[in-house]
A and B are shown apart, each in its own frame.
Chain A
Amino acid sequence: AQKVTQAQTEISVVEKEDVTLDCVYETRDTTYYLFWYKQPPSGELVFLIRRNSFDEQNEISGRYSWNFQKSTSSFNFTITASQVVDSAVYFCALRSDRGSTLGRLYFGRGTQLTVWP
């Protein structure tokens, strides 16, 4: 079974603090893909990053960084020097093609991040 767990329901930080959003996944597949999406108050889902299971390199994009660890089945997301505009719900998602022809996404429940000025 495919499953994504985001244990943090809500996180509040003050601007310029660093914050890490946790994501733990479950899959039996050896090849799979992990994603992060951002959902701002306006409601749309914004793609942030995709990670392939065979590529464990961590990635940095500006203030965003992602830490993928297969040993702990985690794909955590860190925002450095957070800003008010980072306030949103962040979803981690898993795509695994086992039993699926077009790779449906399995989403976690999301983490509501609030950044206070």
Chain B
Amino acid sequence: EPEVTQTPSHQVTQMGQEVILRCVPISNHLYFYWYRQILGQKVEFLVSFYNNEISEKSEIFDDQFSVERPDGSNFTLKIRSTKLEDSAMYFCALGTQRVYNEQFFGPGTRLTVL
């Protein structure tokens, strides 16, 4: 099972501030995903990323969100101007192959917007 860490584990920010959430895979992966889980609710897909570009994004992933792999290793999710409703747990997930693509999730970053 691939290993992945996420930093920070908890982020508290003021509404309107920018936040960057980081996903650090331990080994090489090709397929990256971000999901979020609002407290007590189901896990929702945000975006998938392959070969240094977005493959698919959901209706949640609006212009406030962006993703990139700035150094070929870390995979980041940026929220430009946070809103109260962005408070959630954000999970990075990794896949190693296109077919039979189990997605292994990181431990998550809990984002709290005040």
B45/A104 in contact, CB under 8 A: yes
CB-CB under 8 A from A105, the residues of chain B are 33, 35, 43, 45, 93, 103
B48/A37 in contact, CB under 8 A: no
- Interface range for A: 20 to 34
Q: Per-residue CB proximity of A15-44 to B under 8 Å, as 1/0?
A: 000000000000000000101010000111
Q: Does A101 contact B (CB under 8 A)?
A: yes
Binds B, one of A59-67, A70-78, A79-87, A107-115: A107-115
Q: Does B102 contact A (CB under 8 A)?
A: yes
**Among candidates B45, B56, B93, B108, residue contacting A101 with C-beta atoms closer than 8 Å:** B56
B91/A104 in contact, CB under 8 A: no
* A47 CB → nearest B CB, Å: 6
Q: Per-residue CB proximity of B43-79 to A under 8 Å, as 1/0?
A: 1110010100001101000000000000000000000
B105/A91 in contact, CB under 8 A: no
CB-CB under 8 A from A33, the residues of chain B are 100-101
CB-CB under 8 A from B45, the residues of chain A are 104-106
Q: Chain A: residues with CB nearer than 8 A to chain B?
A: 33, 35, 37, 42-47, 50, 52, 91, 93, 95, 100-110
Contact sample, A vs B, 13 pairs, CB 8 Å cutoff: A33-B101, A35-B102, A37-B105, A43-B107, A44-B108, A50-B102, A52-B100, A93-B43, A102-B98, A103-B98, A104-B45, A105-B103, A108-B42
Q: Chain B: residues with CB nearer than 8 A to chain A?
A: 1, 31, 33, 35, 41-45, 48, 50, 55-56, 58, 89, 91, 93, 95, 98, 100-108, 110
